[in-house]
Amino acid sequence: MSIEFLGNCLTVLSHSLLAAKPNEGCALLLGSHRQSSCLEKQNILQVQMIWPCCNVWGMETFHILDLPKKINIDIKEDLSKKNRFVIDPREQLLANRWARERNWEILGSAHSHPNGEPIPSLVDCYWTFSTGLIVIIGKYGDIRAWWMVEDQIFNTKEVAILSSK
C-alpha cells in the first residue's frame, strides 16, 4: 500500500497543521483508492482533499471518548494540546457525509508533532481506536505516513508516500 497526495494537498496539509503551533494540528484526509498499474496490483490511497479540523483535546474529550480505559499504561508526560490531539467526532461525521457525496471516503487522519519526529508516539499507539492510516508532520516539516493497527503497539508499519505528479 502507498499514499499519494494529489494537486496541492501536501502543501495545504503542512500549512494547516503547522498553523496550530505550538499545539498539535489535525486534519482528515479525503479521497479514494486506486490500483496501481504494475503487476502486483498495489492499493494506492489517493488524497484528493484536506479537511482541516480543530484540535479539541481537553479533559471533557477525555471522558466523552471514554479514554480512561485506554490509559492503564504508564504515560509519564502531561497531556495537553501541545502533545495530543483529538478530532471532534461531529467533524468526522460531516467530513464523511461530504466525502460520500463525491464517492470519496475518509482515508485517514493527519496531525503534527510540533516538537518531535514524524513517527507515532506511544500515546498515538495506545489510542489507536481503529486500524487505519495516519500521517504525521514533524517539527522540521517532514511528513511520514503510517498504518496503525488497533491494540498492537509494535505493529506500526510505514506507508510509502508517492511523489505527486
The footprint of Zn ion (CB under 5 A) covers 121, 124
Q: In angstroms, give the least distance from the CB of 135 to Zn ion.
A: 11
Q: Give the integer Cα–Cα distance in Å for 141 and 150.
A: 27
**Closest residue to Zn ion, Cβ-based?**
124
Instruction: Tell me which residue of 78, 29, 23, 30 sits closest to 56, measured CA to CA.
Output: 23
Any residues with CB less than 8 A from the CB of 17 and at least 6 apart, and which?
25, 26, 27, 110, 111, 112, 137
Q: Is residue 68 packed enough to be buried (19+ CB in 10 Å), middle (13-18) or exposed (0-12)? A: exposed
**Nearest CB to Zn ion, comparing residues 4 and 124:** 124
**Nearest CB to Zn ion, comparing residues 61 and 121:** 121
**Nearest CB to Zn ion, comparing residues 32 and 156:** 156
**Nearest CB to Zn ion, comparing residues 96 and 121:** 121
Q: In angstroms, give the least distance from the CB of 55 to Zn ion.
A: 11
Residue 88's CB: how many other CB atoms inside 10 A?
15
Question: Hey, what's the cell of 152?
Answer: 498492537
Q: In angstroms, give the least distance from the CB of 49 to Zn ion.
A: 22
Question: Hey, what's the cell of 113?
Answer: 508533532
Q: Give the integer Cα–Cα distance in Å for 86 and 90.
A: 12
**Nearest CB to Zn ion, comparing residues 2 and 121:** 121
Q: In angstroms, give the least distance from the CB of 93 to Zn ion.
A: 23
Q: In angstroms, give the least distance from the CB of 84 to Zn ion.
A: 7
